[in-house]
Chain A
Amino acid sequence: MSPLTHKLLRDLWRMKGQAVAIGLVIAMGVMLQVMMSGLVTTLESTRDAYYDRYRLTDVFAPVARAPAHLDDTLGRIDGVARVQDRVVGAALVDIPGRAAPVQAQAVSLPENGIAALNATYLSAGRMPDPARPDEILLVEGFAKAHGLAPGDTLVATLNGTRRTLQITGLAQSPEFLYIAAPGEMVPDDSRFGVIWMGRAAMAALFDMGGAFNEALFALTRDARKGAVLAEIDRILDPYGGRGAYGVEEQYSNQFVSEEIDGLRSTANTVPPLFLSVAAFLLYIVIGRMVQSEREEIGLLKAFGYTNAEVGAHYLKLVLVIATGGAILGCLLGIAGGRGMVQLYLQYFKFPFLLFRLDPASFAIGVIASILAASGGGLLVLRRVFALTPADAMHPPAPADYSRSGRIGQGLSKLLDQPSRMVLRRITRQPVRMAGAMIGIACGMALSGSMLSTFIAFEDTLDTTFTVVDRSDLTISFAGPVHRAALHEIGTRDGVWQVEPVRFVPAILRNGRHSHRGSIQGQPTDADLSRAIDSDKQAIQMREDGLILSTTLAAKLDISAGDRVTVEVRDGRRPTLEMPVVAIADSFFGTPAFIELEALNRALKEPGRVTGAYLRIDPGKRDEITQWLKGLPMVAGVTIKAEAESAFRKVMNQGAGSSRYVMGLLAFVITYGIVYNAARIAHAERARDLASLRVLGFTKGEAAFVLLGELAVITLVALPIGTLLGHGLSQLIMAAYSTDIYTITLGFEPSAYGNAALVVLSAALVSGLLVKRDLDRADLIGALKTRE
């Protein structure tokens, strides 16, 4: 082995603490990059494979009741490759021991047993026998949540008929990749189920003999989707067509796609931020490290080593640390990515999983780290190479502190000698100090912004479940009913308040922008479910126009004062032109509000409601839900507490959980930076400090000169880090937000307080480690070896 290789290995061993700290900073940046991109790639490729293998349909066309012979007409539409009709309907499932009825969707299986579209994946048991109307498939998640297995029975009410059903098998389907109860955002396996039943049985229950109420379409590759949808609508219109829509607007797919898109945008924003912070630090740290080797570089050059040879030597040192960190980061990223995918599987019902890692993310992570590290080293090497070996071998000329003399004089009465040394060094070497300071500020910013993110998630949940939604229960009716029906509910013992609501399915359009969703009619001074402005103040419902949520307004590219076209998909299905009168802050979904009676007038259906918000005596919750379950008009009851806990679970274990990993990484990076700052300051000052000790300064006094400097830099870094962090957190929040939920963030003092504690504790630990070395320093050695 060549002596330079020996030197390399021994140098690495000598600076192992620092090398590990630098390597970890790189590893954290690369880990996040690899983890997030791997997660996105895995979810995306699994979704695509699942859709493809189980033939997720391209177009859904719900209709009130269409005759079966219409299939032929529909199949002849230009661009349609295949049609399949089916019967779908709502069901209420009795779960023994549960007060609230559990909502479910019933879907017919094709008569011949072969689903051309939206095939089911049978995960246990067997397919139902078409000849036996009481046999069903049950969606796997729901079955597991309630301990049901093939062979068990289930009591369900379908279209008013109570039936005992035999579970023959458990299944999954690409159209139910993500399953949430109507009106809810997050899935809860125990509170919403899917039942597949023979076509004949479904037709009998839902009065669909010789008819269907949903058509599914596969399109040809060159189909013009808009034209196809229009043609389907035209054909189904006489039969109560509810508007055909593409798979991109299908609930489950939309949610999954939004989630993956959101994840991708997080993966495209946050890891590069981490990586660039890590890279920047690496640049500074390596630069200063090489700087401290200046005399050895000069010596090697004096012997006749060429710049290239010396450069290669130091580059190797940098590369060992950088690639070591990057490889560790890749491994951690793969492990982390796999862990995150497992979390997602709780919510995305994939029957199989294709682990994919994005090779580009490895490359980007590794290359960025190595470039940054080499850049920092090479820049300094170039400066050292520019010196003659004679200059390089001498320590740099003593820094000129004369310009800071006045500061010392002015403060000499106030400060002792060591304090003045600290102050002079800081004022006299502003660039070097700024480098260290910005490094620590970046660490502070990462930690602070991640902690802000935690608070913002919490805040958003709080606002949603205490300020926006102040009800205890939400009930939804099977269809529009007269609000007089609410009277019975309102007078029930234990019900304190009832507030009507009407959801009307509609397509909102502004120019080429459109959104398929619903309009929400509420009383003027709605109290249990409110629209709020950015100050969390309730906005009154208006009769003269719509109040759009910020997300919806952004999607439609519309602002208050503009007009929007509303194609109502219910009742007599009018198309309305409405002004947008206000924009409301929204956190979940994309609501559009209007005063209830104004909505009813527009639809010419006075007094109609589709549901209600209830405030109840908490002690009577079970009793009331039990009673509501018995009411024929009630299709579903949602207990807010359950919805909230389901949401928290998703935020903490699913979509939002990556923030905890990022938080942890931010702390590690912060520690790595602060430790390096302390180490380098020590390396730069070792001789000075030994001199002080020789002159009779105590260990404590000598340490003060070094640690005082570190303390000042750290303290200055805190407010700067806070500012940087606030900017960073805005980017992170924007990345986390999707069409489905928006996380909003103000300035969170406590986040930065805690981040400051992280930084200070890192400074304290690093300071103690450095002080330990300082106390052990060999005074004679330090003074004698070099000039």
Chain B
Amino acid sequence: MNDPAFTTTGLTKTYGEGEAAVHALRGVDLEIPPSEVVVLLGPSGSGKSTLLNILGGLDRASTGQAFYKGQDITAMTDRQLTRYRRAHVGFVFQFYNLMPSLTARENVELVTEIAEDPMAADEALHLVGLNERIDHFPAQLSGGEQQRVAIARAVAKQPQVLFCDEPTGALDSTTGRKVLKVLTEVNAKLGTTVLIVTHAAATADLAHRVIHFADGRIRDVITNKTRKTAEEIHW
């Protein structure tokens, strides 16, 4: 096996202090190999999004360590985290988080502009199956289209890792399947490690690896012997 993409040891995250403290992560030890599709499952508040945010360099751990290819993310300065996100990481959010004032293409260009070795914005949009309507503003696109723009934006920089927080959460199942298909294709074609946080248990079937979260801890990790395609899953 290759060196793991991510390793964490004793990772905790606490929001607030004293009585009001919320323990989002209570000690997570984990290894994620590269180029896999990994699904993080669990109920609300189980800590999966928090883990994703810490691994993505969007949030900081309270204690413990997290490594990306041997680099300690938890020890990085703000500047180093920015470099890390800029160079290695792509994000897809539940509510797309497109800039409403930019067109589909410009939203992608927002990222290609600062990436080191990006693909062309149009190419990224083709990759997610968006050939038309690329000069439309988010408000003029359907939810599925918006999410595909968001994925195109995330993959355009050719990141080593793609973090997806509830990427289908706001979509109907047909549209959701299209989005998942795009994500698995990106993994297959580009070898990108894809981490998907979701409520939808059925999504687990297309992952190489499924991590179940409960109450801020990993309950279990399952490796799928066989994976389903996005068309085959239902929820």
Contacts and interface: CB of A to CB of B under 8 A. Distances in A.
Interface residues of B, number: 37
B110 A3 contact: yes
Candidate in A2, A4, A6, A304 with the most chain B CB atoms within 10 angstroms:
A304
B176 to A, nearest CB: 15
Interface string B93-109: 11111011111001101
A306 B79 contact: yes
A10 interface: yes
Interface string A374-407: 0000000000010011110100000000000000
A786 interface: yes
Interface in B72-98: 78-79, 82-87, 89, 91, 93-97
A116 interface: no
A390 B89 CA distance: 14
Interface in A1-58: 2-4, 6-7, 10-11, 14
B51 to A, nearest CB: 11
A701 to B, nearest CB: 27
A388 B82 contact: no
A317 to B, nearest CB: 11
A85 interface: no
B182 interface: no
A305 interface: yes
Contacts, number: 86
A352 interface: no
Given A3-B102, A6-B106, A787-B95, A391 B59 contact: yes
Contact of B59 (A300, A390, A784, A787): A390
Contacts of B99: 3, 7, 296, 299
A304 B59 contact: no
Nearest to B94: A787
A302 B101 contact: no
Given A305-B114, A389-B58, A6 B83 contact: no
A10 B139 CA distance: 14
A304 B82 contact: yes
A514 B157 CA distance: 81
Nearest to A393: B97
B111 interface: yes
A135 to B, nearest CB: 78
Contacts of A305: 82, 86, 114
B58 A306 contact: no
A781 interface: yes
A663 B89 CA distance: 57
B78 A303 contact: no
B113 interface: yes
Nearest to A296: B99
A11 B78 CA distance: 27
Given A14-B101, A305-B114, A781-B139, A388 B58 contact: yes
A301 interface: yes
B148 interface: no
Interface residues of A, number: 31
A781 B141 CA distance: 12
A785 interface: yes
B106 A3 contact: yes
B60 interface: yes
A482 to B, nearest CB: 89
Contacts of B139: 781
Candidate in A14, A295, A306 with the most chain B CB atoms within 10 angstroms:
A306
Contacts of B59: 388-391
B58 A303 contact: no
A250 interface: no
B94 A3 contact: no
B90 to A, nearest CB: 9
Contacts of B103: 6
B101 A304 contact: no
A383 to B, nearest CB: 14
A323 interface: no
B53 interface: yes
B120 interface: no
A252 interface: no
B53 A390 contact: yes
B170 interface: yes
Contacts of B84: 304
Interface string B131-172: 000000001000100000000000000000000000000100
Candidate in B60, B83, B84, B85 with the most chain A CB atoms within 10 angstroms:
B85
Nearest to B105: A3
Contacts of B60: 388
A781 to B, nearest CB: 7
Given A303-B111, A305-B114, A390-B58, A7 B102 contact: yes
A304 B114 contact: yes
Contacts of B94: 787
A6 B58 contact: no
A14 B137 CA distance: 13
A786 B97 CA distance: 7
A307 interface: yes
Interface in A531-587: none
Candidate in B57, B85, B94, B99 with the most chain A CB atoms within 10 angstroms:
B99
Interface string A290-329: 0000011001111111110100000000000000000000
B101 A7 contact: yes
Nearest to B90: A303
Candidate in B101, B106, B115, B170 with the most chain A CB atoms within 10 angstroms:
B101
B101 A11 contact: yes
B119 to A, nearest CB: 15
B58 A10 contact: no
Given A781-B139, A784-B170, A785-B95, A3 B79 contact: no
Nearest to A11: B101
Contacts of A11: 101
A299 B102 CA distance: 14
Contacts of B56: 302
B101 A6 contact: yes
A304 B78 contact: no
A306 B80 CA distance: 10
B172 to A, nearest CB: 13
A389 B94 CA distance: 15
Nearest to B143: A784
A2 B102 CA distance: 11
B85 A3 contact: no
Candidate in A309, A390, A784 with the most chain B CB atoms within 10 angstroms:
A390
A786 B79 contact: no
A134 B170 CA distance: 102
A303 B102 contact: no
A9 B185 CA distance: 36
A305 B82 CA distance: 7
A304 B110 contact: no
B101 A10 contact: yes
A544 B117 CA distance: 98
Nearest to B170: A784
A194 B194 CA distance: 96
Nearest to B108: A3
B95 A304 contact: no
A385 B59 CA distance: 12
Interface of A: 2-4, 6-7, 10-11, 14, 295-296, 299-307, 309, 385, 388-391, 393, 781, 784-787
Interface of B: 53, 56-60, 78-79, 82-87, 89, 91, 93-97, 99-103, 106-107, 109-111, 113-115, 139, 143, 170
15 contacts: A6-B102, A6-B106, A7-B102, A10-B101, A10-B102, A11-B101, A296-B99, A302-B58, A303-B91, A303-B114, A304-B82, A304-B114, A307-B78, A393-B58, A784-B143
Given A3-B107, A301-B85, 18 more contacts: A3-B102, A3-B109, A6-B102, A7-B106, A302-B85, A303-B85, A303-B91, A304-B83, A304-B115, A306-B82, A388-B60, A390-B53, A781-B139, A785-B95, A785-B100, A786-B95, A787-B94, A787-B95
Report the 9 A-B pairs with minimum CB-CB distance, sorted nearest first: A304-B86, A10-B101, A390-B58, A390-B59, A304-B85, A390-B53, A3-B106, A389-B58, A3-B109
